[in-house]
Amino acid sequence: MTKIKLTKEKIFSFLVVLLGLAFVYYFTGIFVYIVIAAVIGLIGRPLKDLLMKIKIKSKPLPNALASTITMLMMIGVFSAVFIILIPAIGNQANDLSKLDYNKISHDLNKSFSSTENLLKSYGVLSEDKSLESVIQSYLKDFIAGIRFNKMASNAVSIVGTMFMGTFSVLFITFFFIKDDKLFQNIFLLFVPESRKNSFTNILLKIRKLLSRYFVGLMAEVGSMMILESIGGLLLGLPNAILIGFIGGLLNVIPYIGPLIGVAMASILIIVSHASLGFDATMPLVYGILAVFAVANMIDNFLLQPIIYSNSVQAHPLEIFIVIIVGGTLYGPAGMILAIPVYTILRVIAKEFFHDQSFVHSVTKDL
């Protein structure tokens, strides 16, 4: 039986891992702020590096100034998006508040009379209920959720938490952008001296790959927002920008995100145009389905191969399997985190297990 030899380095490493897990468990909020700030910092690094190439009187911009400009530009972009969205959300809420739920459900019920009989025949809908009453109940629940009635009583607490969270993330992000080795230096404090070179290489490679991935992901989300918004405007939808934003944002969830997005867009169109009647509304629904289909074809055949394959240097089939495994284990959150986590694991495996044939085959492009 092989005995495990305990050394000071192994004991220290074990204690560090325990300390890290305890920190994540007891200070989850702070950990989330740090992760969000690190991601934003990775997105902002290429912009800061570009600004550092600008020279004034043969001297590059000061690091602090370049970091500040980067932060201001990123805040400006996010602020512009929300400024555009606020009127769209307000108009949508106003339209929803004017809806006649009884008329909507009655119109839908007329169109679905045959469906009601079919549902009753299979026992899906009980004999003492009508499809009209069921639709009316679901519509009221849906609108109530959109109105955020329950959240209104906690508005002050929500705003306060959001303000504190936003300030914390921005504060941490600035220092991540200003000092690209900040996280690396903090992490290396807990690494034994004999392992510092290896972990330095790992952290540098991870930062480079994840920075390219997150920048590409933001480009993909922005492109989808623009494509779907333009498609909605061409259809004459008054809430086209809101639909495009929702569709593009949900695109961060691989494969199932676009399906959720088009489902939400269809519901918004049906509810917002209910006064026109069901028959007049369905062409708009078919139109937005076509818009999402075309946009996602562009995404699948053009954007994703560039972003996923080139940024993290992995085969498309490999990426597909990793995303499916992540979704199976942890649902949508697992699908979102699958590629970054897999990238980190590949870099670590290449550094420590490069002599293994399997590891070599999946990390040869790194």
Q: What is the pLDDT of residues 224-255, one digit of tens each?
A: 999 999 998 898 888 888 888 988 888 888 88
Residue 278: C-alpha distances to residues 118, 144, 269 (Å)? 20, 22, 11
- Tokens 């399906």 belong to 259
Domain ranges of the chain: 194-366
pLDDT of residue 302: 79
pLDDT of residue 4: 54
For residue 249, the one-letter residue type is L
Burial 9-26 (b: 16+ CB within 10 A, else e): eeeeeeeeeeeeeeeeee
205: left (phi over 0), alpha (psi -120 to 50) or beta: alpha
Residue 10: C-alpha distances to residues 3, 191, 194, 227, 308 (Å)? 14, 10, 12, 53, 36
**Cβ(309)–Cβ(365) under 8 Å?**
no
Predicted TM-score (pTM) of this structure: 0.71
> How many beta carbons lie within 10 A of that of residue 63, not counting itself?
15
The whole-angstrom separation of Cα 64 and Cα 66 is 6
pLDDT of residue 230: 92
pLDDT of residue 1: 46
In DSSP terms, which residues pair with 56 in a beta bridge?
Answer: 59
Write out residues in the chain with pLDDT < 70, as ranges.
Answer: 1-10, 12-13, 16, 95-119, 122, 124-125, 130-132, 135-136, 138-160, 274-279, 359, 365-366
| Beta-carbon contacts of residue 155 (< 8 Å; ≥ 6 apart) | none
Residue-level length of the chain: 366
**Cβ(204)–Cβ(211) under 8 Å?**
no
Is residue 55 classed as helix, strand or coil in its secondary structure?
Answer: strand
For residue 311, the one-letter residue type is S
